[in-house]
């Protein structure tokens, strides 16, 4: 990820700020922390060991996390990227041509596939209406195998600050998102704060509920 890529990302954020939701791509520290759990259980295992993994990346942007994960793929692994923004998809198609990664230009809400072992998400959930946030989490659950986990990040403090610094409908929206996040706490496996990012961010690793259909968000 070079400075020119950063500028491209910045320009897309100016055009589509609600869906891009960040001024600059994730830093190397944040990207590495997002990527680390995905192949952790394979660390030290030889090529033939372990089952192939089905991996879904949502909201890849210009691919700072993808570029760490795709080189680690082994034969039999699946790597699907679902990204809404056409400019980013074009960049990803060129950047990852000749790799096993498959780029799908669409919203995650419309993505239908067999369940995955790992989901890694860069979606800017704090920008979305609260019912869309709940829908996105339900979509993740639908796309996860029972023992799968998902990795995501949020910007530190921003939601809590918005919950007190906003009024009316916006305050309701942010508070409802905080309630949704609270409901997800039992699924949490790990939480790591990264200060080497603008703004600082929290990475969360979460499992899938045992009974997704009855899980209340």
Ligand X SMILES: C[S@@+](CC[C@H](N)C(=O)[O-])C[C@H]1O[C@@H](n2cnc3c(N)ncnc32)[C@H](O)[C@@H]1O
> What does the alpha-carbon distance between residue 147 and residue 159 come to, in Å, rounded to a whole number?
29
Overall size of the chain counted in residues: 217
Closer CB to ligand X, residue 61 or residue 209? 61
Phi then psi dihedrals of residue 47, to 5 deg: -50, -40
Q: How far is the CB of 79 from ligand X (least distance, A)?
A: 14
Closer CB to ligand X, residue 45 or residue 109? 109
Sheet holding 102-105, edge to edge: 102-105, 78-83, 54-58, 116-121, 144-155, 201-207, 188-194
The tokens describing 129, both together, are 């209406």
Q: How far is the CB of 40 from ligand X (least distance, A)?
A: 19
Closer CB to ligand X, residue 45 or residue 92? 92
DSSP labels, 40-93? GGGTT--TTSS---EEEEE--TT-TTHHHHGGG--TT-EEEEEE--HHHHHHHH
Write down the residue that tokens 């990475």 correspond to: 203
Closer CB to ligand X, residue 47 or residue 150? 150
Please give the residue ranges that form the binding site for ligand X (CB under 6 A). 19-22, 25-26, 58-61, 64-65, 82-85, 88, 107-109, 122-124
Closer CB to ligand X, residue 19 or residue 78? 19
């Amino acid at each position: 990820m070079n400075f020119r890529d950063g500028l491209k990302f910045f320009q897309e954020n100016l055009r589509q700020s609600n869906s891009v939701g960040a001024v600059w791509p994730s830093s190397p520290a944040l990207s590495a922390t997002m990527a680390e759990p995905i192949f952790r259980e394979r660390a030290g295992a030889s090529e033939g060991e372990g089952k192939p993994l089905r991996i879904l990346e949502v909201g890849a942007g210009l691919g700072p996390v993808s570029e760490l994960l795709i080189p680690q793929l082994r034969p039999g692994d699946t790597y699907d990227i679902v990204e809404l923004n056409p400019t980013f998809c074009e960049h990803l198609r060129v950047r990852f041509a000749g790799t096993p990664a498959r780029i799908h230009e669409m919203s995650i809400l419309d993505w239908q596939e067999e369940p995955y072992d790992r989901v890694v998400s860069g979606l800017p959930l704090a920008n979305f209406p609260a019912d869309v946030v709940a829908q996105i989490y339900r979509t993740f659950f639908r796309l996860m195998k029972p023992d799968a986990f998902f990795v995501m990040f949020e910007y530190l403090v921003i939601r809590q600050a918005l919950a007190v610094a906003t009024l009316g409908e916006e305050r309701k929206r942010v508070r409802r998102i905080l309630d949704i996040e609270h409901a997800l706490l039992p699924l949490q496996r790990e939480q790591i704060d990264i200060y080497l990012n603008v703004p600082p961010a929290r990475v969360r690793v979460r499992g899938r509920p045992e009974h997704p259909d009855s899980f209340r968000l």
